[in-house]
Amino acid sequence: MKQKAISAVLIASMLLSMSGCALFDKDDKAVLAAAEEYASAVASADMDSVISLSADGEETDFTEYIAGCMDDKQMGDVFDAILGSITYEIDPESVVSSKKDASASVDVTYTIADCEAIYKDVASTGGSLADFADAIEDDDGDNTIEISQTIKFVLDGKDWLVKDKNDKNLSEVYEFFGMIAVLSATEQYAKAVVNIDMNSLKGLTTYDYASEFESYLSYYEEYSDADLKEVYAAIDDTLGYEIKGNTLSVNGNKASIDVVFTEIAYDTVYDNVYSAGGNISDYLEAIKSNNGANTYEITQTLLFELIDGQWLIDSDLYTLYSVYDYYTNIEYYTWPTSSSFEPITMSFFESTLSSTLGYTAKEYFEDLYCTAQYSGNDLKICIFQQYDLKHASEVYNESYYLRFQDIISKGAFSGSYDYAFSGTEGYIILDGYINYDQGWFNHNGYIYGGLFFTGDVFVVVLAYTNDFTAQYQVDMFLQAIGYPTP
């Protein structure tokens, strides 16, 4: 009996010893304390603490990127609002620790504002990043997401340090940083476009598009006349933008989003003013008083890439020319020309033709009119002196005015033109391609110049080519006789 009692004591002693080893191997309390400190640092984006509590103990590209975002003043309010929404819960029942194995783990659940849902709601009403920050602060936890993670630890001396390979857990919690950084870059870009601030465009793209657009815009600033500059400035003031938040996509180091630029439908306004017989001053006033009645939408899809910690636009920004194409187009607009040009005599016509171009006109006399004309080198320059004003008006109406209207209605002319007829005077000025087989317009190709009627005199000055020399001669002669050029 005594021997059995001793054996029982030995067995109990051995079990107690084994239980004591297992008990001393655990370090749950220290692991939970380390998890609390680390989760708190993550929730506040305290990168210095996150790094010091990490097994590597060194800054990575990702932690450097987050620290850079935190230093961005433009995004600061948004980040503060999101970080202020973060709470976390550590599950003490999930902790597993072993000093012997120098490893441990514990489950943590972060609750964060649902940035995507909140931003889409703000963006749908045209809100900005500042409105986004306010919406997060006012959300009261109605829109949140949960991120559950198992945090792994390694024992370094007496300290339990977090082991997060490739910052996987950290990236999952901080996904919103990429979203906000892309939105911020998008907003900077859109503002630069509508403010025509090419200097602000620099540093936002992978290629220096700013220099190209500076050159493009400076041409019009330097060479346009005063009236055109006023028109350009008035259209500039109509530019606006909307960032389509529901199109935002962030995937690793790539992202995309749509921006819709708006501007006045300047060509529609031009057509209305022109049809009413207005001039460029009327056009300027119509642009200023448009009040959003006629507008265009121009959508751009911006493609981003994260390079050296910065989201840069890698799109082909040549589509940006579509926002600024009014500079090019308006330069070629024509306006109803004053018909105050005086009728000229045949002798003046012939002497001017000789003195300006060195050509000699041939004279012809018919029953109803006399004419002097020069034809050659793709040029036709003629004058018709009518004997009867009533007859002259009928001829111009039927052979010129109505025929040109027929050309336009059939789509047989593409280019710029201007024409008018009052019954006693009229003009047709054109610069473009024609495909018509009747009368003076019988031509398939380029046509440049004008046909004029005032008093009882017709003057026709046309170049049937887009050759610069021929068109220059047309301009020289028309200017010499005091008539408008195309």
What pLDDT digit, counting tens, does each position of 99-115 carry? 999 999 999 999 999 98
Per-residue pLDDT of the chain (486 residues; tens, 9 = 90+): 444 444 554 454 554 444 445 557 889 999 999 999 999 999 999 999 999 999 988 888 888 888 888 887 777 888 888 898 999 999 999 999 999 999 999 999 999 999 888 887 887 777 777 888 888 888 877 889 999 999 999 999 999 999 999 889 998 998 888 888 888 889 889 999 999 999 888 889 998 888 888 888 888 888 788 888 999 999 999 999 988 877 888 888 899 999 999 999 999 999 888 878 788 899 999 999 988 788 999 999 999 998 888 899 988 888 888 899 999 888 777 776 665 678 888 888 889 888 988 888 877 666 555 677 777 778 888 888 766 677 778 888 888 888 998 998 888 999 888 888 877 788 999 999 999 888 878 889 999 999 998 878 888 999 998 888 888 888 889 888 888 888
- Please, are residues 219 and 231 in contact by the beta-carbon 8 Å criterion? no
Give the helix ranges, DSSP H, for 44-106: 47-52, 61-70, 73-85
Q: How many CB atoms lie within 10 A of CB 133?
A: 22
Per the confidence metrics, is the pTM higher than 0.75? no
Rg, Å, the chain Cα set: 39
How many Cα atoms are found within 13 Å in the side-chain-facing hemisphere of 22?
Answer: 7
At residue 3, φ and ψ (nearest 5 deg) are -65, -40
Say whether 180-330 and 26-173 share the same fold.
yes
- Please, are residues 308 and 180 in contact by the beta-carbon 8 Å criterion? no
Q: Which residue has the tokens 């009692």?
A: 5
- Please, are residues 326 and 232 in contact by the beta-carbon 8 Å criterion? yes
Distance (Å, whole) CA 300 – CA 485:
39
* Domain positions in the chain: 26-173, 180-330, 346-481
Record the tokens describing residue 278, joined without a space.
């207005």
Distance (Å, whole) CA 116 – CA 110:
16
Would you tell me the crossing angle of helices 175-194 and 73-85 to the nearest 10 degrees?
Answer: 150
Superfamily of domain 180-330: NTF2-like; domain 1 (3.10.450.100)
Superfamily of domain 26-173: NTF2-like; domain 1 (3.10.450.100)
Distance (Å, whole) CA 427 – CA 209:
44
Record the tokens describing residue 220, joined without a space.
């019009």
Q: Which residue has the tokens 């002259």?
A: 392
